[in-house]
Amino acid sequence: DPVRRQALTVAGVVADTGASQSLKGGDVVLAAGNEPVVSFRGVERAVSMCATEQPLLLSVLRKGEVVDVTCELSEESCAGTGRLLHWAGAQLQPTHRPVAELGFRPTDPSTGAHLDVFISRWYHGSPAQRYGLYALNWVASVNGIPTPTLDSFIDATRSLDDGAFVRLKLISLNARPKVLTVKLDLHYWPTWELRRTTDGTNEWERVLL
C-alpha cells in the first residue's frame, strides 16, 4: 500500500488447515485471487468470491522470491470448547483453537489419525499430579489402545477399576513422546464429563461416567 505503507504478513498458521499446507510464517501476501491485497478485508473478499470447495490462489513473497501457492479453504467453528472430561484429576478436551494456532498437532503413527485428547490442566493432590500427568500433552494411547478422540479415550478407560494402574502414551507440544503409569483413585477422583447442551440453550451439564 503506497499510501499507508503496509503489507499483509503471515504471523503463523493453524494446524490441520489448508493454510498450514501452503503458507509459512513470515510470508508477505501480495495477491489473493489474482487481486493485490494489503489488508484482512482484501483476503476476505477474495475468499468470498471462491466457489464451494474451490481453493484460493495466493501470491506471496517468501525469502526474497515471489511464490504462487494454492490454499485449500475450510470452515472453522468459533463455538469454542464443548466438552471437558475430568479423569484422574486431569482435564481433557478436544484440541482447542489457541493450541492449534501454535501450528502443531500430532498424529497416531500407526493410523495417521490426528490426536484430539489434549490435557489442558491438572489438579493438586490428584493422581494426575502424583504421577506426572501434566498439561500441554496429548494422550495417544491407553494401555496400548489408540485414543485419538475423547470418545475412544472414554471407551478405553470405562471398565478400569479403582486402584488400577493405567499406562499412558503422551505426545508433548514439542512432539516428544513419553510413557507413564497412573494409579486410579475413583473414590476421590471419579471420571465425569462437562458437556455443552445442543438444544440451543448453550448451558452446561455434568455427567458422571
Q: H/E/C letters for each residue in 32-65?
A: ECCEECCCHHHHHHHHHCCCCCCCEEEEEEECCE
Query: Would you say residue 75 has pLDDT above 80?
Result: no
Cα–Cα dist 57/200, whole Å: 37
Cell numbers standing for residue 107: 498424529
Q: Which residues contact 65 (CB under 8 A, 6 or more apart)?
A: none
Cell numbers standing for residue 122: 491438572
Query: Would you say residue 78 has pLDDT above 80?
Result: no
Are 105 and 114 a contacting pair, CB within 8 Å? yes
Q: Residue 71 burial by CB count (10 A; 0-12/13-18/19+): exposed, middle or buried?
A: buried
Are 66 and 58 a contacting pair, CB within 8 Å? no
Model pLDDT, residue 120: 96
- Give, in order, the Cα–Cα distances in Å from 112 to each of 80, 105, 115, 148: 25, 12, 9, 10
pLDDT tens, 109-159? 777 788 999 999 999 999 999 999 999 999 999 999 999 999 999 999 999
Rounded to a whole number, what is the largest CA-CA distance in the chain? 68
Model pLDDT, residue 24: 92
* Chain position carrying cell 489438579: 123
Q: What average pLDDT does the segment 8-29 reach?
A: 89
Sorting pLDDT into bands at 50, 70 and 90, what band is 74? confident
Query: Would you say residue 11 has pLDDT above 80?
Result: yes
* Chain position carrying cell 470418545: 151
Q: Identify the three-state secondary structure at position 22.
A: helix
